[in-house]
Amino acid sequence: MTKNRAVAYQGPGVVEVVDTEFPAFELKDGPGVNPANIGRKVNHGVILKTVATNICGSDQHMVRGRTTAPVGLVLGHEITGEVVEVGPDVEFLAVGDIVSVPFNIACGRCRNCKEGKTGICLNVNPDRPGSAYGYVDMGGWVGGQAEYVLVPYADWNAPKFPDRDQALEKILDLTMLSDIFPTGFHGAVTAGVGVGSTVYVAGAGPVGLAAAASAQLLGAAVVIVGDLNEDRLGQARSFGCETIDVGAGSVPDQLEALLGVPHVDAGIDAVGFEARSQGHGAGAVEAPATVLNALMAATAAGGAIGIPGLYVTDDPGAVDEAARAGALSLSLGTGWAKSLSFTTGQCPVMKYNRQLMMAILHDKVEIAKAVNAKPIPLEDAPRGYAEFDAGAATKYVLNPNGYLPL
Ligand SMILES: NC(=O)c1ccc[n+]([C@@H]2O[C@H](COP(=O)([O-])OP(=O)(O)OC[C@H]3O[C@@H](n4cnc5c(N)ncnc54)[C@H](O)[C@@H]3O)[C@@H](O)[C@H]2O)c1
Ligand SMILES: [Zn+2]
Ligand SMILES: [Zn+2]
């Protein structure tokens, strides 16, 4: 039988590359698999040989022990792959196709999927609406930081690249279509970014950088990125963003120094619940509501805030009891008084996947450069997780099968 290798969560701070089962057209029992999903037939699936699979800040929440992810969970929701086996119910994909895999697993048949809300599909996760590969509370679909992975409802969930050679040539850009490019773009779209907008992006991790590049693509007049990490701010400046160090003063004051007014038209939270008010590592002060409160203060009346940053309902490492259950101390009065609107949740990647693919293929955006994509071998995943956790200004792309230029 063909073997498989995959990145597994082994407890707080620890990931290992382990031997795992080769995928079958059935969801088997394993760490994190919802009992109601065990034995589920997946004749509508394909098995992919992974071409590229990225490490994400969302994975880091689990690896830092900030979720209830079980030990042994195979990680990985940012997947691009080559079809090597086709389930009997798949009509439109064939062996040899190179496909992008939006991280949201969706059935394509339910009420939400029909409305394009693929981040809250009703049929794939018995725990709650919405699912993803290799993620806690997402039904137990096996992660794709692996040599091989199963993709269910593949005619729907695995959009095919038009040309194999062209796809492999731009693969470091195209791999960002599985999550962070659409996610950053969704953040910008839902913040109302358009031609001439002024934009503040909180967070210069890969999602924040993707949001900043997206805001530029949408025609923003100025994009300001805030973080506490100087290397990441330097990365934002490398493609024309202004930057602020959020530890150096209030966000509105620093915006005023740049724009002449203490607010922007559009705000984006690319940080999430592990937001800090200052510092790194041991000296860091965590303040889970700080980014949302700063964005409400810094977004002009009538504006909108896109919130791709992740917030959870169960955080074992929270700063206080309320935050443990996801209840944060928000100045909603500020938001209400300014008639701000908010968009949260998983990005419905499918909604943007094709248009952003076209932007990449036709050289309208250099997303791999913006996020500083770096391929590393699958076996080096523990090092990639550690460096990313330490704040490297790098988007790590795992290369399990040698497709990528190392
Ligand atoms: N909604 C979605 O569909 C979706 C998809 C992908 C990722 N995400 C989430 O987006 C968030 C960002 O992902 P990432 O991969 O870029 O993670 P990341 O951890 O690499 O980046 C977060 C950045 O925020 C910075 N930060 C911390 N406190 C801050 C503050 N007060 N102000 C400004 N910056 C601050 C950190 O220094 C870090 O650089 C995560 O919460 C991730 O789970 C959501
Ligand atoms: Zn991701
Ligand atoms: Zn659905």
pTM of the predicted protein model: 0.97
Burial (CB count <10 Å: 0-12, 13-18, 19+), residue 338: middle
Strand pairing category for 46-54 and 40-41: unpaired
Walk along the chain (406 residues) and give the pLDDT tens digit of each residue. Answer: 679 999 999 999 999 999 999 999 999 999 999 999 999 999 999 999 999 999 999 999 999 999 999 999 999 999 999 999 999 999 999 999 999 999 999 999 999 999 999 999 999 999 999 999 999 999 999 999 999 999 999 999 999 999 999 999 999 999 999 999 999 999 999 999 999 999 999 999 999 999 999 999 999 999 999 999 999 999 999 999 999 999 999 999 999 999 999 999 999 999 999 999 876 555 678 899 999 999 999 999 999 999 999 999 999 999 899 999 999 999 999 999 999 999 999 999 999 999 999 999 999 999 999 999 999 999 999 999 999 999 999 999 999 999 998 7
By the CB criterion, residues less than 5 angstroms from ion ligand 2 are 56, 58, 78, 179
Q: CB neighbours (10 Å) of residue 197? A: 20
Atom of ligand 1 at shortest distance to CA of 276?
A: 28
User: Whose CA is closest to 16, among 309, 383, 352, 340?
Assistant: 383
| Backbone dihedral region for residue 391 (phi beyond 0: left; psi -120 to 50: alpha; all else: beta) | left
Q: Which two structure tokens, joined as six digits, stand for 67?
A: 């979720």
Q: Which two structure tokens, joined as six digits, stand for 400?
A: 């399990």
Q: Which two structure tokens, joined as six digits, stand for 305?
A: 């805030």
Per residue, the 3-state secondary structure of 318-371, as one string, reads CCCHHHHCCCCCCCHHHHHHCCCEEECCCCCCHHHHHHHHHHHHCCCCCHHHHC
Q: Distance from the CA of 215 to the center of ligand 1, in angstroms?
A: 17
- The Cα 235–Cα 263 span in angstroms is 23
Q: φ, ψ for residue 7 (rounded to 5)?
A: -90, 125
Q: Which two structure tokens, joined as six digits, stand for 127?
A: 């725990």
One DSSP character per residue, 199-213 reads EEEE--SHHHHHHHH
Query: Which residue is associated with the tokens 């290369």?
Result: 399
E strand or H helix at 125: none
- The Cα 186–Cα 322 span in angstroms is 29
- The Cα 203–Cα 225 span in angstroms is 7
User: Whose CA is closest to 258, among 242, 246, 274?
Assistant: 242
Query: Which residue is associated with the tokens 């969302």?
Result: 58
Q: Which two structure tokens, joined as six digits, stand for 86?
A: 């086709």
Q: Look at residue 286 in the predicted model and tell me its pLDDT.
A: 87
Ligand nearest 389 Cα, by number?
A: 1
Tell me which of 54, 58, 319 to substitute to probe ligand 1's pocket, judged by most ligand atoms within 8 Å of the beta carbon: 58
Q: Distance from the CA of 272 to the center of ligand 1, in angstroms?
A: 6
Atom of ligand 1 at shortest distance to CA of 290?
A: 31
Q: Look at residue 285 in the predicted model and tell me its pLDDT.
A: 85
Q: Distance from the CA of 119 to the center of ligand 3, in angstroms?
A: 9
Residue nearest to atom 10 of ligand 1 (CA): 309
Atom of ligand 1 at shortest distance to CA of 349?
A: 3
pLDDT, one tens digit per residue, over 347-360 is 999 999 999 999 99
Residues with C-beta less than 6 Å from any ligand 1 atom:
56-58, 60-61, 179-180, 183, 202-208, 226-229, 232, 246, 270-272, 275-276, 290-291, 308-310, 346-347
Tell me which of 271, 286, 389 to substitute to probe ligand 1's pocket, judged by most ligand atoms within 8 Å of the beta carbon: 271
Tell whether the torsion through CA atoms of 107, 112, 116 and 120 is positive or negative. Answer: negative
Q: Look at residue 130 in the predicted model and tell me its pLDDT.
A: 98
Q: Look at residue 1 in the predicted model and tell me its pLDDT.
A: 61
Atom of ligand 1 at shortest distance to CA of 56?
A: 15
Residue nearest to atom 13 of ligand 1 (CA): 57
Q: Distance from the CA of 191 to the center of ligand 3, in angstroms?
A: 25
Q: Look at residue 405 in the predicted model and tell me its pLDDT.
A: 82
Query: Which residue is associated with the tokens 């900043």?
Result: 212
Q: Is the separation of the CB atoms in 51 and 98 below 8 Å?
A: yes
Q: Which residues make Cβ contacts (< 8 Å) with residue 125, sequence separation at least 6?
A: 34, 37, 105, 131, 137, 138, 139
Q: Look at residue 116 in the predicted model and tell me its pLDDT.
A: 97
Q: Look at residue 279 in the predicted model and tell me its pLDDT.
A: 61
Ligand nearest 114 Cα, by number?
A: 3
Q: Which two structure tokens, joined as six digits, stand for 176?
A: 């960002």
User: Whose CA is closest to 297, among 346, 246, 223, 345?
Assistant: 246
Ligand nearest 123 Cα, by number?
A: 3
Q: Distance from the CA of 2 to the center of ligand 3, in angstroms?
A: 31
Q: Distance from the CA of 214 to the center of ligand 1, in angstroms?
A: 16
Q: Distance from the CA of 118 to the center of ligand 3, in angstroms?
A: 6
First to last CA, the chain: 28
Buried b (16+ CB within 10 A) or exposed e, 93-122: beeebbbbbbbbbbbeebebbeeebbbbbb
